Amino acid sequence: MLAQAQADQEISAQYAIMARLAAEKVHVELYSKAVEAVKNGKDLDEFHVYNCSVCGYTHTGGPIDKCPVCSAGWNKFREIV
Ligand SMILES: [Zn+2]
């Protein structure tokens, strides 16, 4: 899908795919932490999850200056957990 978008020089499609890949990387990290906590009979430590309303990037932790994917400001992030 990404290769096809690159071949077609579909910049917006490439951008959307890269944003989704970045978001999925964070999802894998969160899922791995949850699995590890369950294996140890524990709950996850309290944490906050934010989503960039521009590109969909998922961020955990405290505020950041800008989205690492689309450079949107922190004011474009919404807390989802
Ligand atoms: Zn973004």
| pLDDT tens-digit series, residues 29-39 | 888 988 998 99
Query: Is 74 within 8 Å of 63 (Cβ atoms)?
Result: yes
Residue 25 alpha carbon to ligand 1 centre in Å:
14
CA of 77 to the centre of ligand 1 (A): 8
CA dist., res. 58 & res. 44, Å (int): 17
CATH number at residue 58: 2.20.28.10
- Residue 36 CA, ligand 1 centroid: distance in Å: 28
pLDDT at 55 over 80: yes
Residue 73: pLDDT over 90: yes
C-alpha 5 – ligand 1 centre gap (Å):
20
Task: For residue 8, give every residue at least 6 positions away whose Cβ sits within 8 Å of its Cβ, in sequence order, or none.
Answer: none
- When pLDDT is averaged across residues 10-18 and rounded to a whole number, the result is 79
**Is residue 54 pLDDT above 80, yes or no?**
yes
| Average pLDDT score, the chain | 86
Residue indicated by tokens 């961020």: 59
| Host domain of residue 41 | 2-79
Number of domains in the chain: 1
Structure confidence at residue 36 (pLDDT): 92
